[in-house]
Chain A
Amino acid sequence: MIVLEIASGVLLAAGALFVISGGVGLLRFPDFYTRTHAAGLTDSAGAGLILLGLLLQGAGWETAVRLLIIMLFLALTSPTSTHILAHAARRDGVPVWREGDPRR
């Protein structure tokens, strides 16, 4: 069981690192689209690893099933909403930042 606890801790810590990096990237990246990439870091890698880490905590099968359903829904909804946002920005003509442009 100690192995499971260590694995769970590693996954949670790695997930937390991705979530923090997503936040820092959101502040540092120069425009809407690049910031969306940073937010995606939090959504996919961060949330995924944290949920996996929680899964290994061994809180019983009911919780495990719920966590798996949450993962499934996140995997479907987060890229969909990200795509809708980016699509709307593109359609409304939000310019794409190129190397050398000032930050927006």
Chain B
Amino acid sequence: MMVPPLALFWLVLSGHYTFLLIVLGAVSVVLVCWLAWRADFPERDDVVLPLSPRLPRYVLWLGKEVLVSAVAVVRKVWSPRPDLRPVVGVTPSPDMSVFTQVVYANSITLTPGTLSLDVDEDRIEVHSLDAEDVDVLRDGEMMRRARGLETRR
């Protein structure tokens, strides 16, 4: 079921039609299908990536956040006595679609300094290098922006 799109994707991306590369492509397609089957990956129809017109804005904003918090973590890495006060906190994520929650939890992990540990129905457990970062999450700007991606259909 997944084979034709995957094979096409490999051919388009690789652009080299030598024997070796096509064999490698076939092996990788088989591997991906086997992994998806092992992981009980749902049928293709269930996987939708709602493309919201606000996605580019969100990506730009997230990129900025990633850079700002990356600089803060780099400071901690190079400081002679790193000022580390890691905490495990909880940030609420009420009434979210599964898609939005995945985007939100992945955005938390993508920004250095915060890391989503566990995703429940209405809250996300976060490990953070700094208690302040959890407070910033609880203020909810990232959650609001992730919510903004939900397309009204």
Contacts and interface: CB of A to CB of B under 8 A. Distances in A.
A86 interface: yes
Contact of A38 (B77, B107, B108): B77
A45 B110 CA distance: 9
A48 interface: yes
Nearest to B128: A37
Interface residues of B, number: 34
Contact of B84 (A17, A29, A45): A29
B100 interface: no
Contacts of B106: 76, 79-80, 83
Contacts of B142: none
B84 A30 contact: yes
Contacts of A24: 77-78
Given A33-B115, A45-B67, A40 B109 contact: yes
B70 A41 contact: yes
Contact of B110 (A21, A34, A36, A78): A78
B82 A29 contact: yes
A21 B84 contact: no
A96 B88 contact: yes
A69 interface: yes
B57 interface: no
A45 B73 CA distance: 11
Given A40-B109, A82-B109, A25 B73 contact: yes
Interface of A: 17-18, 21-22, 24-25, 28-30, 33-34, 36-38, 40-41, 44-45, 48, 62, 66, 69, 75-76, 78-80, 82-83, 86-87, 90, 96-99
Interface of B: 13, 15, 63, 66-67, 70, 73-74, 76-78, 82, 84-86, 88, 105-119, 125, 127, 129
Given A44-B66, A44-B111, 4 more contacts: A34-B129, A48-B66, A86-B116, A98-B86
